[in-house]
Amino acid sequence: MGKTITEKIFSEHAKRSVKAGEIVRVDIDMIIGNDITTPISIKAFQESGAESLARPDNFCIVMDHYIPAKDIASANQAKISRDFAYKHDLKYFFDEKDMGIEHALLPEKGLIIPGDVIIGADSHTCTHGALGAFSTGMGSTDLAFGMITGGNWFKVPETIKVKLIGKPGKHIYGKDIILELIRMIGVDGALYKAIEFSGEAVRYLGMSDRFSIANMVIEAGAKNGIFAVDSVTLAYLEERKIQNGGLRSEPKIYFADDDALYCQTITIDVGQLSPVVAYPFLPENGKPIETAVADNIKIDQVMIGSCTNGRIEDLRIAATIVKDKKVARHTRMIVTPATQKIFLQAQHEGLIDTLIEAGAVVSNPTCGACLGGYMGILGDGERCVATTNRNFVGRMGARSSEIYLANSAVAAASAIAGKIVDPREMK
């Protein structure tokens, strides 16, 4: 019996043939911490008596959730990670001087390599599967075990195969595809399973779309999401290689066997999709944009950004839609580029001018608004269209507020209209 991509990655790391259901101990190629979760890992590391990292060049800390600090507590929280990074002279420590949201910054830096096993104490670590790596979120103490030993234990997940067919229409993006999949199978439909994306439509998806899709597989309960490496992936890696003076290591490229065993196969015709809007209070509450328009949903805020949709492509889409228009009087529009480099590129392309002239406020790269921390908190009863990944009760502020998840085109168009509208209908 053949193997899935995830099974092949674990087989290589275990140095023997493994299959779904087996529990294996493997070395980890990259461990990712952030300013919220890493202090817990550091405490466990210190309490273990460990004095040095097992693989210091395979560990990174990205300061992104409350940076710059929003209050004394977050400043002291950040100080724990900073002190640890300086003490151990971490090669990969990214603070305010070179900041970004971790799941956008690390691929940008050429630190995510196809074939890697990657863990992070953040549930959206699964984003990196877009580059053909096994990448998953784990707890902070699991992270500490990896820091101490260089490895960890995993149960090799079964794999769901998602075949994408057709060609995406106007304003159909990766965000719509993953929201449609979650609508189909529910928030626990892929519990502790890998989701492998394949099919003819993949060739129409740029890396931004693939990152969005892989980012949100956790919202269906998946352990990881993964795409096979193709010409789009290789072009992205080559660009990172040129910009960064090389990649962290050489890619290991795997493809699923024709006779690989899948626990389920799902087909999505992306050519038949309308933009999808996920209603409160679960990502599985996806509805076509036509339904949202008919429901005449007035909104108070739009948030474009996050590790799901804060890339340069998202800012280009938003700027194109709001150009020579104004954000509705009763609506706020917040744009958060995912990294400083994306921010700078948006400035060079004139996108920041366009967004601000339309009435948007542009913030530094941060996870703040997405997790309800700062830089965009919702008040009682307020409604927000967000390009983020979660719309749980109280996710972005008041428990009575509502979040509607959508792609960047829907979000930008809705900011102009002051209510949810179909970007395909805008002039």
Query: What are the residues whose beta carbons fall under 8 Å from the beta carbon of 326, sequence distance 6 or more?
Result: 358, 359, 416
Mean pLDDT lowest for which of 275-289, 363-377, 383-397?
363-377
Final residue before a domain boundary, out of 213, 245, 268: 268
The per-residue pLDDT for range 146-179, each reduced to its tens digit, is 999 999 999 999 999 999 999 999 999 999 999 9
- CA atoms in the 13 A half-sphere facing the CB of 73: 3
Q: For residues 60 and 96, is the Cβ–Cβ distance under 8 A?
A: no
Arithmetic mean of pLDDT, 132-152: 96
**Which residue shows structure tokens 């097992």?**
54
Does residue 427 carry a pLDDT above 80? no
Judgement on whether residues 166 and 136 belong to the same structural domain of the protein: yes
Arithmetic mean of pLDDT, 31-35: 96
Q: For residues 132 and 126, is the Cβ–Cβ distance under 8 A?
A: no
The per-residue pLDDT for range 15-27, each reduced to its tens digit, is 999 999 999 999 9
Q: How far is CA 163 from CA 64, 210, 234, 266, 269, in A?
A: 34, 14, 21, 6, 8
Could you give phi then psi for residue 185, rounded to 5 degrees? Answer: -110, -15
3-state secondary structure of 386: strand
Final residue before a domain boundary, out of 230, 250, 268: 268
> Distance between the two ends of the chain, CA-based, in angstroms?
54
Q: What angle do CA 54, 15, 41 make, to 5 degrees?
A: 30
Pairing of strands 117-120, 30-34: parallel
pLDDT of residue 247: 85
Amino acid at 229: V
Judgement on whether residues 257 and 131 belong to the same structural domain of the protein: yes
Give the separation between CA 369 and CA 355, rounded to whole angstroms: 18
- Compute how many other C-beta atoms are within 10 angstroms of the C-beta atom of residue 118: 26
Judgement on whether residues 27 and 156 belong to the same structural domain of the protein: yes
Residue 97's pLDDT band, with cuts at 50, 70 and 90, is confident
Judgement on whether residues 122 and 97 belong to the same structural domain of the protein: yes
The domain in which residue 301 lies consists of 277-425
Q: How far is CA 22 from CA 126, 182, 310, in A?
A: 20, 27, 36
3-state secondary structure of 250: coil
Judgement on whether residues 143 and 211 belong to the same structural domain of the protein: yes
- Total domains present in the chain: 2
pLDDT of residue 426: 83
Judgement on whether residues 121 and 26 belong to the same structural domain of the protein: yes
User: Which string of b and e fits 201-211 if b means at least 16 CB within 10 Å?
Assistant: bbeebebbbbb
Domain of residue 397, CATH code? 3.30.499.10
Q: Which two tokens stand for residue 293?
A: 């328009």
Give the separation between CA 22 and CA 333, rounded to whole angstroms: 47
Judgement on whether residues 292 and 374 belong to the same structural domain of the protein: yes
Q: Which two tokens stand for residue 344?
A: 């700078």
Instruction: Kindly report the pTM of this predicted structure.
Output: 0.94
Judgement on whether residues 186 and 316 belong to the same structural domain of the protein: no
Q: Compute and round to an integer the Cα radius of gyration of the chain.
A: 21
- CA atoms in the 13 A half-sphere facing the CB of 396: 32
Residue 246's pLDDT band, with cuts at 50, 70 and 90, is confident
pLDDT of residue 252: 95
Torsion, CA 142, CA 147, CA 151, CA 157, rounded to 10 = 30
Judgement on whether residues 321 and 200 belong to the same structural domain of the protein: no
Give the separation between CA 199 and CA 182, rounded to whole angstroms: 18
Judgement on whether residues 199 and 296 belong to the same structural domain of the protein: no
Arithmetic mean of pLDDT, 327-332: 97
Arithmetic mean of pLDDT, 315-334: 97
The per-residue pLDDT for range 198-223, each reduced to its tens digit, is 999 999 999 999 999 999 999 999 99
3-state secondary structure of 215: helix
pLDDT of residue 248: 85
Judgement on whether residues 301 and 230 belong to the same structural domain of the protein: no
Final residue before a domain boundary, out of 239, 268, 297: 268
Q: For residues 293 and 420, is the Cβ–Cβ distance under 8 A?
A: yes
3-state secondary structure of 34: strand
Query: What are the residues whose beta carbons fall under 8 Å from the beta carbon of 10, sequence distance 6 or more?
Result: 18, 24, 26, 117, 134, 154, 156
Q: For residues 156 and 7, is the Cβ–Cβ distance under 8 A?
A: yes
Does residue 272 carry a pLDDT above 90? yes
Judgement on whether residues 205 and 283 belong to the same structural domain of the protein: no
Q: What is the mean pLDDT of the chain?
A: 96
Of 403, 363, 399, whose CA–CA distance to 380 is shortest? Answer: 399
Could you give phi then psi for residue 314, rounded to 5 degrees? Answer: -65, -40
